[in-house]
Amino acid sequence: MQIFGVDIGGSGIKGAPVDLDRGVLVDERFKVLTPHPATPDLVADGVKEVVSHFGWTGPVGVTFPGVVAFGSTIRTAANVDKSWIGEDARALFSERLGGLRVTLLNDADAAGVAEMQFGAGRDRRGTVIVLTLGTGIGSAVFIDGVLLPNTELGHLELNGHDAEKRASSKAKEDHELTWEQWARRVQKYLAHVEMLFSPELFVVGGGVSRKSEKFLPLIEGIKAEIVPAQLQNNAGIVGAAMRAATQE
């Protein structure tokens, strides 16, 4: 079975058809830059460009980098334009895609769902926290495989700052941090999350997970097991498609 997945991030909008039996992309993903300002109309245009690139006419799963209430209404917009707040995003995307059926969920939740089914969290019980380190920090919390949606743990306070402003991969780039300097920040963040949730496993994803060997071995003092995401930066696309399939 194939379903189309679109992952909206702070820097890019990417998508591809997904083989849901294997959790892999059927074709090379297509990506456009996230517009600035990332307003609803401009982002919807980007989603349309990605879907149209493949000539797709079936159901579409879409992720959003913020809290998605009731599968449609946007509640937060940390890394996109604030005009998203209160928007009926599912209706907007469906209209822009010519009436295609759209399913919407938080971007980190999508990545987490994919990792739990096909990746590093497969068959893991207890508390598992999937973190996506990118433009911000996304989180997906699972208890015995069941998702607690919209946790947004990237916005916990860390040293007087929003955690994602200190420990995201964008923060590494913005502050020109070495891997060692950034790993210390990630370590402090993980220690804080661990204190609050006591997970058995952290799965670290996002684009930076491709270079996990450069920073994960530098992290010390965390009781939970820490592993890199296996689906890396495709997890959001796969998870979006998975959620769309459940709405068939």
Q: Which two tokens stand for residue 33?
A: 């830059």
Please write the tens of the pLDDT for every residue from 115-144: 999 999 999 999 999 999 999 999 999 999
Q: What are the structure tokens assigned to 74, written together?
A: 């946007």
- How does pLDDT run across 152-192, given as a tens digit for each residue? 999 999 889 999 999 999 999 999 999 999 999 999 999 99
Distances (CA, A) of 231 to 36, 115, 161, 222, 247: 28, 7, 30, 23, 23
Residue 42 has pLDDT above 80, yes or no: yes
Q: How many CB atoms lie within 10 A of CB 79?
A: 22
Q: Does the pLDDT value for residue 28 go beyond 80?
A: yes
Q: How many CB atoms lie within 10 A of CB 181?
A: 12
Q: Which domains does the chain have, with CATH numbers?
A: 2-109+235-246 (3.30.420.40), 122-229 (3.30.420.40)
What average pLDDT does range 64-69 have in this prediction? 96
Return contacts of 182-187, CB within 8 angstroms, 24+ apart: 182/215, 183/215, 183/216, 183/218, 183/219, 184/218, 186/133, 186/215, 186/219, 187/218, 187/219, 187/220, 187/221, 187/222
With 0-12 / 13-18 / 19 or more C-beta atoms within 10 angstroms meaning exposed / middle / buried, residue 160 is: exposed
Q: 60-64 and 2-8 as β-strands: parallel, antiparallel, unpaired?
A: parallel
Q: What confidence tier does 60 reach under pLDDT thresholds 50, 70, 90?
A: very high
Looking at the predicted structure, is the pLDDT value of residue 247 above 80?
no
Q: Are strands 157-158 and 161-162 parallel, antiparallel or unpaired?
A: antiparallel
Res 207: pLDDT: 87
User: What's this model's pTM, rounded to 2 decimal places?
Assistant: 0.95
Q: In this structure, what token pair is assigned to residue 246?
A: 């459940």
Angle at CA of residue 229, ends 201 and 120, nearest 5° = 55
The DSSP annotation for 185-247 comes to: HHHHHHHHHHHHH--SEEEEESGGGGGGGGTGGG--S--SEEEE-SSGGGHHHHHHHHHHHHT
Q: Which two tokens stand for residue 48?
A: 């349309």
Cα distance between the two ends of the chain: 12
Structural contact between residues 103 and 61, judged by C-beta atoms closer than 8 angstroms: yes
